[in-house]
């Protein structure tokens, strides 16, 4: 995480990505550091997985404040078939989000891309 916050850190990730990224970040004040760090980790690990396995041509990342949570959504147009049981990366994401009392959901039908959503409580 940077002194400039989550938006600046995600912009930096997007600039370095080998896959084109569309960032849709809702304007918001700084969030608690553990929330920002968890959101950053979810995006960074997801982008690593996309680059290694998805064969995607595009990634959409949306970050919104919803009620008392930060909702991070990452959608790619890759080959799908991602599963937490297939490797430690997705399991690590689930563990990290769970440690914040949050929830991680994954939709990744084979041949139809992947949609990962992390719901991270703000308190």
**Residue extents of the structural domains in the chain:** 6-121
pLDDT digits (tens, 9 = 90+) for 92-109: 999 999 999 999 999 999
- Rounded distance between C-alpha atoms, residue 118 and residue 52, angstroms: 21
DSSP track, 49-66: HIIIII--S-EEEEEEEE
- Rounded distance between C-alpha atoms, residue 7 and residue 107, angstroms: 25
Longest dimension (CA), the chain: 39
Query: What CATH code is assigned to 6-121?
Result: 3.30.565.10
Please tell me whether residue 99 adopts helix, strand or coil conformation: helix
- Rounded distance between C-alpha atoms, residue 119 and residue 123, angstroms: 12
- Rounded distance between C-alpha atoms, residue 59 and residue 2, angstroms: 23
Reported for 98-103, long-range contacts at CB under 8 A and 24+ positions apart, including other chains, are 100/34, 100/35, 100/38, 102/38, 102/69
Per-residue pLDDT at 28 exceeds 90 = no
pLDDT at 83: 83
Per-residue pLDDT at 40 exceeds 60 = yes
Residue 87: which pLDDT band, with cuts at 50, 70 and 90?
Answer: low
Per-residue pLDDT at 8 exceeds 80 = yes
């Amino acid at each position: 995480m940077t002194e400039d916050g989550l938006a600046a850190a995600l912009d930096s990730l997007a600039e370095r990505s080998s896959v084109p990224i569309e960032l849709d970040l809702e304007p918001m004040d700084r969030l608690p550091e553990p929330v920002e760090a968890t959101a950053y980790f979810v995006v960074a690990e997801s982008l690593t997985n996309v680059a290694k396995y998805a064969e995607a041509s595009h990634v959409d990342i949306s970050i919104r404040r919803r009620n008392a949570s930060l909702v991070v959504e990452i959608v790619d147009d890759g080959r799908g078939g991602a599963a937490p049981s297939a490797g430690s990366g997705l399991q690590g994401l689930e563990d990290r989000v769970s440690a914040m009392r949050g929830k991680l959901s994954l939709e990744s039908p084979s041949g139809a891309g992947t949609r990962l959503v992390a719901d991270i409580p703000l308190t």
